[in-house]
Amino acid sequence: MADPNHCNSLSITDNRTGKSYELPIEHGTVRTMDLRQIKESEDDFGLLGYDPSFLNTASCKSQITFIDGEKGILRYRGYPIEQLAEKSSFLETAYLLIKGELPDKERLAVWTYNIRHHTMIHANLTKFMDGFRYDAHPMGILVGTVGALSTFYPDAKNIGDEESRKLQVRRLIGKIPTLAAMSFRHHLGFPYVLPDNDLSYAGNFLSMMFRMTEQKYEPNPVLEKALDVLFILHADHEQNCSTNAVRSVSSSKVDPYSAIAAGCAALYGPLHGGANEAVIRMLEGIGSVDNVSAFIKSVKSGKGRLMGFGHRVYKNYDPRARIIKKIAFEVFEETGRNPLLDIAIELERIALEDDYFIGRKLYPNVDFYSGLIYQAMGFPTDMFPVLFAIGRAPGWLAQWIEHVKDPEQKIARPRQIFLGAPCRDYVPLDERPSRGDDEEKFGICRL
């Protein structure tokens, strides 16, 4: 009799044995654990899926962020990013991501109050900050200090306790901008600025970054709004590299500070949060609009990448890049035009007409214009990934909570295909043949 679920299943024949199997399909996926039953012989381990870099593997079920990379769609909890960027605020969006629904007036007020009243850090953390070298990269400082928060809040290890989770969420969203601003001022040798809880989330961050001797810092409203929107645009992006790091590390049931520090570490890399910093360095390297064609040629010949272009998921214009391009012009009205903008516009124009980029579906991503805005606002390039981390924190936390509550999740532990040496006997040092000219043979390395 025909299986009524047949149309929702995958039939596989193992040509090694001639045996056939039927695997259920749910939500357009098969479970790779279902492959395990496919064996060549009784003592065979069973078939594994091989998917380096998770190109075609879903690691979780999620209700937080939806992306259609082909169409260039991004939604948080169902709300289009364009509407949130235009109408919401960063803290409201953070609430949406973490709690699943937009808050009513009262809830938003309480949420905002709670985040604003967790902006202070323990004074000992200041000493920890002082221990970094004067030229330490602020993102390296952020990785270290966010991780260090776990030692100040040992209660955070109660990850199964909902009240504790709520508290850590408020602490993290509240304190990350404080740590971020301190990492910047440490570099300059300026005294740290205490949080000003009268200001908005973005306004307080600008105050902690740039306030000097004035009694009260008054943020430029255009820049304050632009920064708030940039935080919204970065707030979540489903299972990206840093979110995967957060989920993977928290699968060991470690506290959220350690897991979010892992997210910051992943974000530090030039292919992820470091990309907008790399875009500015690239634009500075190109130097002038006249050199753009030659630069594009060198990228096509395999000498480096066009930073700020391409995305694992978007095979269309990144919707965030569209919004950011518009903000860039609003910010430049206040700050004056960033001279690198003309090079960026020319790069985009040429790349979008070029078969190399069209054929590979490489379009500007979120990082292509964001660095130009940050630079015009007075942030040094080293701070760009740190700004990304402030924006991404609510997304990481929403994904962390979802992960902790998901009964299907276990400790993340991929398999491997072992292609190394077979079992062999240890050879005593005197009996080993010379191994040729490898680097260890060329002498002791002294610093």
* Catalytic positions, written as ranges: 311, 367
Phi, psi of 374 (to 5 degrees): -55, -40
| Least spacing, CB of residue 391 vs ligand CMC, in Å | 11
Choose the binding region for ligand CMC from 60-68, 86-94, 167-175, 302-310 (rule: CB under 6 A). 302-310
Q: Which of residues 171, 211, 272, 325 is near ligand CMC by CB under 6 A?
A: 272
Q: Which residue is nearest to ligand CMC (CB)?
A: 310
Nearer to ligand CMC, 194 or 313 (CB): 313
DSSP state of 32: G
Residue 360 lies near ligand CMC (rule: CB under 6 A): yes
| Least spacing, CB of residue 66 vs ligand CMC, in Å | 16
Nearer to ligand CMC, 59 or 158 (CB): 59
Choose the binding region for ligand CMC from 108-116, 221-229, 358-366, 405-413 (rule: CB under 6 A). 358-366
| Least spacing, CB of residue 54 vs ligand CMC, in Å | 11
By CB under 6 A, the count of residues binding ligand CMC is 19
Instruction: Give the Cβ contact number of residue 165 at 10 Å.
Output: 19
Interacting residues of 441 by C-beta distance below 8 A, sequence separation 6+: 435
Helix (H, G, I), strand (E, B) or coil at 422: coil
Question: What's the CA gap between 191 and 208, in Å, rounded?
Answer: 10
| Least spacing, CB of residue 222 vs ligand CMC, in Å | 25
DSSP state of 26: B
From residue 61, how far is each of 145, 238, 403, 424 by CA, in Å?
Answer: 31, 11, 9, 43
Amino acid, res. 238: E
Q: Which of residues 36, 75, 107, 305 is near ligand CMC by CB under 6 A?
A: 305
Residue 110 lies near ligand CMC (rule: CB under 6 A): no
Helix (H, G, I), strand (E, B) or coil at 347: helix
Binding mask 56-95 for ligand CMC (x = CB under 6 A): ----------------------------------------
The H-assigned helical ranges of 88-161 are 90-99, 105-116, 123-130, 138-152
Long-range contacts of 279-285 (CB under 8 A, 24+ apart): 279/307, 279/308, 279/344, 279/367, 279/368, 279/371, 279/372, 280/340, 280/371, 280/372, 280/375, 280/381, 280/384, 281/307, 281/381, 282/306, 282/307, 282/308, 283/340, 283/343, 283/344, 283/347, 283/372, 284/340
Nearer to ligand CMC, 360 or 415 (CB): 360
Question: What's the CA gap between 272 and 305, in Å, rounded?
Answer: 13
| Residues in 385-444 that interact with ligand CMC by CB under 6 A | none
Residue 179 lies near ligand CMC (rule: CB under 6 A): no
Nearer to ligand CMC, 108 or 313 (CB): 313
Choose the binding region for ligand CMC from 103-111, 272-280, 333-341, 434-442 (rule: CB under 6 A). 272-280
Residue 308 lies near ligand CMC (rule: CB under 6 A): yes
Choose the binding region for ligand CMC from 136-144, 333-341, 364-372, 412-420 (rule: CB under 6 A). 364-372
Residue 309 lies near ligand CMC (rule: CB under 6 A): yes
Nearer to ligand CMC, 201 or 388 (CB): 388
Residue 366 lies near ligand CMC (rule: CB under 6 A): yes
Helix (H, G, I), strand (E, B) or coil at 101: coil
Cβ neighbourhood burial of 86 (10 Å; 0-12, 13-18, 19+) = exposed
From residue 106, how far is each of 87, 111, 135, 265 by CA, in Å?
Answer: 18, 9, 44, 36
Interacting residues of 107 by C-beta distance below 8 A, sequence separation 6+: 95
| Least spacing, CB of residue 57 vs ligand CMC, in Å | 14
Binding mask 231-270 for ligand CMC (x = CB under 6 A): ---------x------------------------------
- What is the bridge-based pairing of β-strands 65-68 and 79-80? unpaired
**Tokens standing for residue 423:** 């079992």
Helix (H, G, I), strand (E, B) or coil at 30: coil
Nearer to ligand CMC, 312 or 322 (CB): 312
| Least spacing, CB of residue 364 vs ligand CMC, in Å | 9
| Least spacing, CB of residue 302 vs ligand CMC, in Å | 8
Chain residues that interact with ligand CMC, rule: CB under 6 A: 240, 271-273, 275, 299, 305-312, 360, 362, 365-367
